[in-house]
Chains A and B, each alone.
Chain A
């Protein structure tokens, strides 16, 4: 065999392999800012049910930029994110496509998905109030956080964190920017320490007596109290009471994890199939169990720890309409000097 024919054969066979990779339809590629380990049980269940392999890459910042740069060649099928702002960002960056699916529309309440089908919420978390054990509040409004009687008593993570900007955006959407600013200044005046750390640090700081109350997401309560985060965190979780707050006029502020189908998804059908699987009863129960979230689907089972927090009454505002104010919320945090 001459050198040229050998070379040709090698080229052809490697090209063949590449083509094989391209036509192998039984896979779906997932880009996610939601930590892949959290959704692994769900993806495993999907694979064992359908035989479709799920390839994942978990990233933090820059997912929309990466997909946009990859353009038409992007292998990404499904884009997952843990925050409504990030989901809206994806559709605004024009890296998603509209999906019409009766199954998705039936399972997901209209205020928790994009009207145009560009993104869908898959699980829900409430922004709850953690309090010291000696404080029992039967009800609490987000507006109360600015009440001067809590001066020096509140802990919270950075105002620029997505969980807080989403809440602030919600207040802007409800009451307008001027009132939101007043509220944020009031809250800032009540802080016991500089905003920072994570939601669980709020529980730990309450246990340490640094503050009396603070904001934290609902699933952290499950993670701490169940012992999934280790015995230390269990102590923090047991050191707090948890209240589901609401707006003075409205329900509880929630954020979501969700997903969107990529604009140039090479395996679009598989991506939609995966989305539909994720809102099935089976998968929704797994969401609740694996990460102590509220299922997005009405009637799906809750984890007992989360069920004990009381009935969640989600505020009726469309999430997309709240996320419109995310930038304004972030600028407000700057203006108030909240994180200083």
Chain B
């Protein structure tokens, strides 16, 4: 807590006027920054507002039906899915981060970045790949049958992957990096001092992990898990494919099958409230805890060497999620691509689609990083309730399924275009047609609303690790907020910024539902190409596009890990 917010809490004012002024206080921030962050959050809220409009238009006549036949199942499936995925990503993400941070073993350096690879696999691809691999007539079970001497799948088959457990497992495998990435950062940098101290005091490894490392990493675990869970909750590709009927599936079926868009918007907003409640509960539960360390020197953790069977065990454990979450589906895609290339050759449009995808993802990434930095900076400089709300609200878009968000954007974008055209007409010019709707601007807008939460999470965590004494020193020396942001915060937040950019880039590359609805004519990305192939029923020809998504997603992962390694080796050198 900063001195300012302490002061705020201590000064009750009879008329509330001062309180209001404090609410909007931009004293330490500068009006420019404050206005910019306010404008930004309003822009992010536009689609939500329009969804609210859709929801209000509904009569609610469908609710008795939804309550008796749809929502119980949807809530149950969503709760089970979130519980399962939550347990899996926390267990995998934090244990893996701990192993590669606290210990050294053969292959550790490579594994520590390879553990990010499953990020590059979209959920709809892993679901499809495993359905094919795991099917009774697929390669895994066929080989197993041959091995065990069964002739027909009628005599022997494994449980169907089209189930809740299948969905939990597959989503967990591609989502655990959301936890692994921030937790690893905490273990390797921030927690170094304390863990060293605990080791000096002869605390056992179990006690250090459960008693010290995990509690220390709790904010990072919370941020990562909430991102992973929102992604799981919003997922349509894998859940629909595997027959899990989550709230998101019921939103879509209410809109499309029960022909009730207002009802769908109502469920979407209900889901948003549930997400907000969960996040608030978690924050409330650790309201008395502070995680910024007061030490001046952050000391990276010295790794203990694991040799013999312990080393082998660590190597095996870390390789498992990579194998299941990346090597298997990517290998499957390579196999299908190979078959396909022999069959029909490469499509010439793929190159332009790759370029479109990369351009959109790059623009979104840069903007998201900039905007998230602005928001986190504003919140740090003026810790007013307003700025806290701004940061919270700017992350809401992630809790809304892609197509629903896109529906929310359609109206406002078209309205804006209508105004522009009206303006042209009034000034005696011919109308210029659609400017924003059906343009790449619409796409980038949608991506930003959706993925700003990811960047916000990383940066908020990054900022929270910088001692506030830095700011005080800089301000005492007469530095302006802009200069402070540029010269002090930006360089110090670089690791957080980079991991934010990685996540946003990879997510933008994979984005499908909003892209499908909002893109311009004659414009394809890799994901829409893939979807087109799937819609045509030639999933296998989509393998090439899928492989390109995975490959392009690999580039930033490798780049980031190299940067981190360099930082690592700088940091650990005496």
| Residues of chain A whose beta carbon lies under 8 Å from any beta carbon of chain B | 15, 18-19, 22, 29, 35-38, 55-62, 65-66, 69-71, 73-75, 89, 158, 160, 162, 165, 193-198, 200, 204-205, 207-210, 220, 223, 228-230, 232, 326-327, 330-331, 333-335, 337, 339-340
Contact = CB atoms under 8 A, between A and B. Distances in A.
A29 B152 contact: no
A170 to B, nearest CB: 15
B261 A75 contact: no
Interface in B503-547: 513, 516-523, 528, 531-533, 535-538, 540
Contacts of A58: 516, 528, 532, 535
B57 interface: no
Contact of A57 (B131, B339, B520): B520
B517 A59 contact: yes
A165 B258 CA distance: 10
Interface of B: 65, 69-70, 73, 131, 135-137, 152-154, 157, 160, 162-163, 240-243, 245, 252-253, 255-259, 261, 339-340, 343, 403, 406-407, 410-411, 413-414, 417-418, 421, 429-434, 437-438, 513, 516-523, 528, 531-533, 535-538, 540
A177 to B, nearest CB: 14
Nearest to A66: B410
A246 B410 CA distance: 42
Contacts of B135: 204, 208
A75 B414 CA distance: 12
Nearest to B519: A57
B403 A197 contact: no
Contact of B417 (A36, A73, A205): A73
Contact of A229 (B242, B421, B429, B540): B540
Nearest to A157: B243
A66 B517 contact: yes
Closest 4 CB pairs of A and B: A196-B243, A209-B154, A330-B257, A208-B136
Contacts of A15: 429-430
A73 B414 contact: yes
A70 B416 CA distance: 10
Contact of B73 (A194, A197, A228, A340): A340
A35 B438 contact: no
Given A230-B340, A326-B259, 17 more contacts: A18-B430, A60-B403, A61-B403, A66-B438, A69-B414, A70-B437, A160-B253, A197-B131, A204-B137, A207-B137, A208-B135, A209-B154, A210-B136, A229-B537, A230-B540, A331-B65, A331-B258
Contacts, number: 161
B512 to A, nearest CB: 9
Nearest to B517: A62
Nearest to B434: A73
Contacts of A205: 136
Contacts of A89: 259
A330 B256 CA distance: 10
A70 B414 contact: yes
A282 B464 CA distance: 67
Contacts of A337: 69, 73
18 contacts: A22-B433, A55-B522, A57-B522, A58-B516, A61-B255, A61-B513, A62-B517, A65-B410, A71-B418, A73-B417, A75-B438, A194-B243, A196-B242, A197-B131, A197-B243, A204-B137, A209-B153, A327-B258
Given A70-B434, A73-B431, A208-B153, A334 B243 contact: no
A209 to B, nearest CB: 4
Contacts of A210: 136, 153, 157
A220 B538 CA distance: 11
